[in-house]
Amino acid sequence: MNSFFKLICNGCKKNSGHIGDRWPYNDGTDDHVVHKTLNISEAYKDERFDPKVDEGSDFVTRSILCMPIKNVNGKVIGVSQLVNKMDGSAFNKNDENLFEAFAIFCGMGINNTQMYETAVRAVAKQRVALEVMSYHAIAPEEDAVKLKKVKIPSAQHYNLLDYKFCDFHLDDDNTLKATIRMFMDLNLLKNFSIDYEIFCRWMLSVKKNYRNVTYHNWRHAFNVTQTMYCMLKAGQMNNILTDVECLALMVGCLCHDLDHRGTNNQFQQKTMSPLAELYGTSTMEHHHFDQCIMILSTKGSDIFRNLSHESYDQVLLLLEKAILSTDLALYFRHRGKFFQLVKSGNSIWHDDENRNLLRSMMMTASDVAAISKPWEIQKKVASLVASEFFEQGDLEKETLHLKPSAMMDREQADKLPDLQVGFIDDICMPVYEAISLVSSRLSPLLEGCKQNRENWLMQARAVNKRMEEKRAEVADKDKKEEKREADKKEIDRENKKQQEEEEEEEELEEDEDTVVENVNIRLIPFHDKDGGDENGTKKETKSKSWRSTSFGGIGKKDKSNEEKIRLVKLGEPPQESKNIEEERSKQAEGRGGEGPCIPSTSSASSSPSMSKYFRIGRGGSEKKTHSSKRRGFACQGRSRGTDDEDHHSGSGDRSGGQS
């Protein structure tokens, strides 16, 4: 396009001026410029254009085409502008399409340039960080010089050629000297021209880069390296493997858990740690290898500096495979082929794939070799492993709020013997059986593993027996508790029943004490509806019924049954009736109030009148039973008034009217 244009990116200035020369940046029109395409055919007629930009020059702005430049994310990173078409016409739609393609191309170029600059800065920062980390991670040179001057005892002095080797009695300085002895006995320093002082500094740096965690620390790395050394020397596996392979295996064992944090790969994935984001699989193993390379690449601890390019590349490749093979996930993936290979009896170890399988199985066998140690050593190591697992389980509870697996749950520590038996059966025993078929000189590892399995099995049985006894004791205790609860409920039911009976008796006693005042009463027998007159002239007494069963409710509670009682207000009784009444009263007193006090059934007139104050009480025996609570009521009279009062009360109607 034959047009005059200028490109402005991120406020950069060009020879033709800045964006304010043609399009004032700070006058409020910048939003229009950077967010949409602007096509102005006559600039001087547009209020957003500043005519001052043409002052002092012969140039006259006629038309403007302005378009934003965006990156791949759609973010505006610059502005491109075309001014005045050469033919003097305004910019058309075709010009806009061509200019848009140009803007896209500019955006890609600018974005790539920015990314490159960012990458360059990131690399520079990484180098600075590596230098700082190397300075602190690499052991001081004076420590290496000091170690270089120390006399190194023999392998027999440390018992390094024994599969039952134990490091408990060694301090850290002796573990360093024992490590030097192992590399020297394998002729690795001589065969690969490794400077002794650099080797001492490298080894000190490796030790320094192990964290002070419970189990996966420098001591664990040292013991794994000793087992590999024993397999190579005492097991004569160095007759099958090359010197380069031996070097890679020994360095790999010593570095296989560098910078271990005391947590496994699953924990890194669950917490979405930076390591998990950096490495997709075998998270910790990749990190261990990278730490190993960092130390080997640092000046002063670069023990491979004298290797040829070919040998250097080869040993690094073998070293990476050795460290990654300690991931048990890869062990399970590849062990089937190895087991089939050694059981077939046609092991061809000059094949690269077969040798790779062999080295991987040797790394696993060395890594879990604590399971083959004497029982006292194995118990202590197992306790350390369990403690580290429990610490991870505690972190999972606190940070992730998850219930950890049994082997990492502190509350299930009594399951350790069972878990150890399972660990031996699933991982250790198969690999030791397989490598024993490769060389009979490796069989001590298998024998030690079998012996410890029996020990753990006995421990598991003892623990299970104690657990069964404890469960039985708890069950018996629960049964006794249930029986106590049942007895308590039964007692509560009995007490409640007794309380209800007592309350009912108290209620009946209150009924017995009901007092009816100012009335002389006489019980009138009821007749059947077809039986005689009110005076009871018929002599058939079978139809008579003394409705006295609800008598106790009168005057207080049972109002509904009052109609069953006919109360007759009487006047002064005749003399003969008084005599009969007195005689009956004496008889009643002689009986102590027992038995019913009812009128004779011969006639209504023969029934005696009662005293002025009358108490309705219970007849019969004083023994209170449920069957007699509502029957057997009788009348007991007691005179409380004077003769005048009796005479006054007897002056009433004698006709037997009801009241």
Q: Which two tokens stand for residue 139?
A: 């052991």
Q: Say whether 420 counts as a known binding-site residue.
A: yes
With a cut of 60, say whether residue 514 has pLDDT above it: no
**pLDDT on residue 647:** 44
**pLDDT on residue 612:** 41
**pLDDT on residue 578:** 55
Q: Say whether 218 counts as a known binding-site residue.
A: yes
Helix or strand or coil: residue 596? coil
Rounded Cα distance, 184 and 192, in Å: 11
Q: Say whether 216 counts as a known binding-site residue.
A: yes
Residues 139-151 have a mean pLDDT of 95
With a cut of 60, say whether residue 613 has pLDDT above it: no
Least confident of 9-18, 127-136, 626-635: 9-18
With a cut of 90, say whether residue 198 has pLDDT above it: yes
With a cut of 90, say whether residue 136 has pLDDT above it: no
Task: List beta partners, residue 615.
Answer: 515, 636
Q: What is the pLDDT of residues 89-108, one digit of tens each?
A: 888 888 888 888 888 888 88
Residues 629-651 have a mean pLDDT of 42
Let me know: does 5 contact 83? Beta carbons within 8 Å: yes
Q: Is 440 exposed, middle or buried (0-12, 13-18, 19+ CB in 10 A)?
A: exposed
**pLDDT on residue 593:** 47
How far lies 329's CA from each of 98, 283, 325, 465, in Å? Answer: 57, 11, 9, 34
User: Could you tell me the pLDDT band of residue 48, with boundaries at 50, 70 and 90?
Assistant: confident
**pLDDT on residue 390:** 96
Q: Catalogue the active-site residues.
A: 216
Let me know: does 526 contact 544? Beta carbons within 8 Å: yes
Helix and strand counts by DSSP (H, E) for the chain: 22, 7
Let me know: does 410 contact 394? Beta carbons within 8 Å: yes
**Which of 437, 470, 251 has its CA nearest to residue 343?**
437
**pLDDT on residue 591:** 53
Let me know: does 263 contact 295? Beta carbons within 8 Å: no
Helix or strand or coil: residue 180? helix
**pLDDT on residue 530:** 47
Let me know: does 294 contact 209? Beta carbons within 8 Å: no
**Which of 637, 622, 655, 634 has its CA nearest to residue 546?**
634
Q: What is the pLDDT of residues 416-461, one digit of tens each?
A: 999 999 999 999 999 999 999 999 999 999 999 999 999 999 999 9
Q: Which two tokens stand for residue 245?
A: 């392979």
Rounded Cα distance, 575 and 127, in Å: 140
Rounded Cα distance, 283 and 291, in Å: 13
Q: Say whether 309 counts as a known binding-site residue.
A: no
- pTM assigned to the model: 0.61
With a cut of 50, say whether residue 570 has pLDDT above it: no
**pLDDT on residue 78:** 83
Q: What is the pLDDT of residues 359-395, one digit of tens each?
A: 999 999 999 999 999 999 999 999 999 999 999 999 9
Domains of the chain (ranges; CATH) run 3-134 (3.30.450.40), 141-459 (1.10.1300.10), 515-649 (no CATH)
With a cut of 90, say whether residue 52 has pLDDT above it: no
Q: Say whether 456 counts as a known binding-site residue.
A: no
With a cut of 70, say whether residue 23 has pLDDT above it: no
**pLDDT on residue 625:** 42
With a cut of 70, say whether residue 493 has pLDDT above it: yes
User: Could you tell me the pLDDT band of residue 357, with boundaries at 50, 70 and 90?
Assistant: very high
User: Could you tell me the pLDDT band of residue 70, with boundaries at 50, 70 and 90?
Assistant: confident
Residue 82 is given by DSSP the state E
**pLDDT on residue 312:** 96
Residues 491-519 have a mean pLDDT of 74
- 153, amino acid identity: P
With a cut of 90, say whether residue 292 has pLDDT above it: yes
User: Could you tell me the pLDDT band of residue 644, with boundaries at 50, 70 and 90?
Assistant: very low
Of the chain, the percentage scoring pLDDT greater than 70 comes to 72
**pLDDT on residue 290:** 92
